[in-house]
Structure 1
């Protein structure tokens, strides 16, 4: 069974279901930080698939781990990560 990790505030827009897959061999940290009153951050292990809800205008930041810190590797629109959950 898949668990949705976090839900954003639904006061403005309807959240969408998104999926991110870490297709690398490194641990990544993903973040959504561009929304007021909502912060989402999770570690994603190699090969791991993560379902989460986000607002359509949100951007997912993908950070790759380094010994000293992390590097912003990519920014992805959550609309591109939206799951088609129609029957």
Structure 2
């Protein structure tokens, strides 16, 4: 599996910050193919959060990854994945809380 990233085109000013979470136990590949002159392809491990910039009208494709090849699981409008600064702060504090609990259990 490969991960590819090219810088987001600087002339596109209406970009939004998005977050996708792989809630499965399988490795997935996330792709955005709907923005001209831009390639976005990332491997997303189980339970991993993926933060990325996109255009509101772009679509994030989610593919399953298996030995037999890839299969398209679905397309998600990026505006559905848009996050705000407040949601990032809340997510960050829950991650920190989870890490603290894990550390105290060891």
User: Normalising by the residue count of structure 2, what TM-score does the alignment of the two structures yield?
Assistant: 0.71
Match of 1:22 in 2: 22
Structure with bigger gyration radius: 2
1:42 matched residue in structure 2: 42
Structure having the larger proportion of residues in helix: 2
Q: Structure 2 vs 1, CA of residues 52 and 7 (structure 1 numbering), >3 Å: closer, same or farther?
A: farther
Residue aligning to 2:94: none
Structure with more relative contact order (C-alpha pairs < 8 Å, separation 6 or more)? 1
Residue matched to 1:52? 52
Aligned positions, number = 83
RMSD: 1.9
Query: What is the SS of the residue equivalent to 1:82?
Result: coil
Q: Could you tell me the TM-score, scaled by structure 1's length?
A: 0.85
Q: Does 1:66 align with 2:75?
A: no
> Runs in 1 of length 4+ with deviation above 6 angstroms?
none
- C-alpha separation between the residues in 2 aligned to 1:34 and 1:54? 10
Q: Does structure 2 conserve the Cα–Cα contact (< 8 Å) formed by 1:8 and 1:15?
A: no
Gaps spanning 5+ residues in structure 2: where?
90-106
1:10 to partner: Cα distance:
3.6
Separation in structure 2 between the aligned mates of residue 8 and residue 34 of structure 1, nearest angstrom: 13
